[in-house]
Structure 1
Amino acid sequence: MTHARRRTDRLNRSPTEPASMSITPDRGPPSRRVVAMTMLGGVGLLAGLLLGFVTFTLLGTPLSLSVESPSGQLLFTLGTYLGMGGVAGLYLFRHDLTLSYVRLRRPSIRDLAAIAVTTVALIALAVAIPNLISRLGLPFTEHSITESIEMNPAIALVFLPLSILVVGPAEEFLYRGIIQTRLGEAFDAGAAVALASLIFAVVHFFAYLDPANVPGTVVTILLLLLPLGAILGAVYEYTDNLAVPVLAHGVYNAITYAAVYAEVVGLY
C-alpha cells in the first residue's frame, strides 16, 4: 500500500474503525483512549522534568553551574527531553511496537518542501497571533526560554542546535508519533489531530506560566500553542512521515530563538 493510499484510508475511515496500521487492538470506549493519552502526555512531561533535575543535580551542581547559565540550561534541557523521548520509547517497548508504528522515514524531496512550507506557516502564525491578541486587548505570556534568552542572550546559542537535534524530535516522537497515532485508532484523523494538539498545548502550560498573569498563560496556550500544534499534527497526517513535523518544529524553534537573540543583542 502506498503512503498516499494509507493516508486516504485514515482520512476516510469511521471513528470506530481501527486504523489499518494499528498493531494493538482498541480496548474500551474512545474516551478511555483520550484519558490514557492525556496521562501519557503528562507522564512524559513529568518524567522529563525529573530527569532534567536529576541530570543537573548530578552533573551541574558538582561543577557549581547555575541553572540559568548556558551550561546549566544545556544539562537540564538534555535531561528533560531525553526523558520525554525515553517515555515514548518505553511506550513502544511496553506495547511491543517498533519505530515503523510512528511512521518515521528519511524525508523525500516532497517532504522537504512540506517541512519548508510548515516552518513558514508556523512562523507566520507566531507573528500574527500575538499581534491579534494585542489588538484585542487580551493578556499574553512568553515561553520561559524566550525570557531566559532576554536575560542572557548566550543561552540562545545552546538552544539553536538543541531545538533541532533534541527538542523537536522528543516532543514530536511523543505527542505526534505516539499520542496522535494512538488517538487515530479510535477517532478520525481530524479529531485525532485536534485532541493531540490540545494535549500538546496543555502540557506546555508551565513553560508559559506567569504567576502574575495566569489569564495570559491560558490565552497563549489556547490561541497560539493549539493552532501551532494543529499545523504540526495536520502535516504529519498529510505526509505520513514523522520526520516532517520533527524538523519543522525544530527549525521553527531555532528561528524563533535566533530572532530573540538578534533583537536582544541589537542586530536589528
Structure 2
Amino acid sequence: MRSLLVAVFLSVAAIVASQFTTLPAFLLDPALLESPAEASNTATFVLLTLNFLGFFLVGGFYLWWTERGWDWLDLRMPTRRGWGYVLAGIVGSIVFVMLVNIVATVLQLPSSENQVVELIGDDPNMVLLMIVVVFLFNAPAEEFLFRNVVQKRLYAAFSRMGAVVVTSVIFALIHIPAYALAADGGLAPLGAIGVSLTVVFFGSIIFGYLYAKTDNLIVPTAAHAAFNAFQFAILYLVLRFAPEEAEEMTAMAVDVALALAPF
C-alpha cells in the first residue's frame, strides 16, 4: 500500500508541478489561455517544454529526498540486445496502433481528441517542433518519472510485470484530463475517453516491459520518442502535402501518440 501511495503521489505531484512550471509560457503569450491555436510557435514550444519540466523536478526531488541520488538512474548505452528491444518496441507500438485503428473503424468506436490538437492547429512547422519536444523533453521526462522512479519503486511491492501494469494504470488515469474535454468545451463521451485511455494504457505496457527486461532507461525512452516522432512525421507529411485530410489525420495521429502529458 505504501509503494502504491508513493507512486500515485508522485504522478499527481508531477501534474500539479507542471501547472506551475508552464506559467511563464502563458505570460509570454496570453493567447494560450483562450485560443491556443492562435498562439505563437515560440510560446507553444515553451509551454510544451516547461510542461515536462515538472516531471523532472518531482522525480529528481524524490531521489534527493529519499537519498537514492542519481545512482538510482539506469542510464547506460544499450547493448546490441538493448537496441533490439528498442526496435521491437517501435515496431510493436506501430502495429498495436494500426490494430486499434482497424478495430475502432470496424466497430465504429469513438475516440476523444487530445488537447494537444488545439496547440498544433494546422501548422506543419508546429508539428516539426513537436518532434523536437518528443525527443528532448516528452519521452525523457515521462520515462524518467514513470519507469525509473515510479515503476522501479513499485518493484519493492509487486512483481516486475505487476509493477508494469500498476504503473500503466496510473499513467492512463493521469491522461483523463487530456481526453475528457471535448472540442466545444464540454465533456467527451465516456466511450471515447475509454478508447483513448486504453491506447495509452497498452502503450505504457509496451514501454514498461522494455524497461523491466533491460533495466536501462534509454531503451524505453528511445522507443517512446521514435514511435511518437513517427506519428508526428506522418502528420507533417499530411499537413504539408495533403492538407484536405489534415483534420482527420490530426485527430488520429495525436490520439495514439501515447505519451503526451495532459495540460
When the two structures are superposed, what TM-score results if normalisation uses the length of structure 2? 0.82
Aligned to 1:57: 26
User: One-letter code of the match for 2:93?
Assistant: L
- Residues 30-59 of structure 1 show CA distances to partners (whole Å, capped at 9, x for unaligned) of x2321221121011112113211x121344
* Structure 2 residue 74 is matched with structure 1 residue 122: no
SS in 2 for 1:206: helix
Structure 1 CA distance for aligned equivalents of residues 171 and 122 of structure 2 = 27
CA contact (8 A) 1:141 1:220 kept: yes
Q: CA RMSD in A?
A: 2.1
CA positional deviation for 1:229? 0.2
CA contact (8 A) 1:130 1:140 kept: no
CA positional deviation for 1:60? 4.0
Structure 1 CA distance for aligned equivalents of residues 102 and 119 of structure 2 = 22
Structure 2 CA distance for aligned equivalents of residues 50 and 124 of structure 1 = 37
- Residues 193-229 of structure 1 show CA distances to partners (whole Å, capped at 9, x for unaligned) of 00001111111122223234231112210x2011100
Aligned to 2:203: 228
**What is the percentage of aligned positions where both structures have the same residue?**
28
How many aligned positions are there?
Answer: 233
User: One-letter code of the match for 2:195?
Assistant: V
1:86-235 alignment runs, 5 A limit? 86-146=57-117, 148-209=119-180, 210=182, 211-215=186-190, 216-221=192-197, 223-235=198-210
> What are structure 2's unaligned runs of at least 5 residues?
246-263
1:7-26 alignment runs, 5 A limit? none
Aligned to 2:229: 254
CA contact (8 A) 2:123 2:239 kept: no
User: One-letter code of the match for 1:251?
Assistant: A
Structure with the greater alpha carbon radius of gyration? 1
Provide runs of 4+ in structure 1 moved above 4 Å: none
Match of 2:8 among 30, 38, 53: 38
- Structure with bigger helix share is 2
When the two structures are superposed, what TM-score results if normalisation uses the length of structure 1? 0.80
Structure 2 CA distance for aligned equivalents of residues 252 and 220 of structure 1 = 17
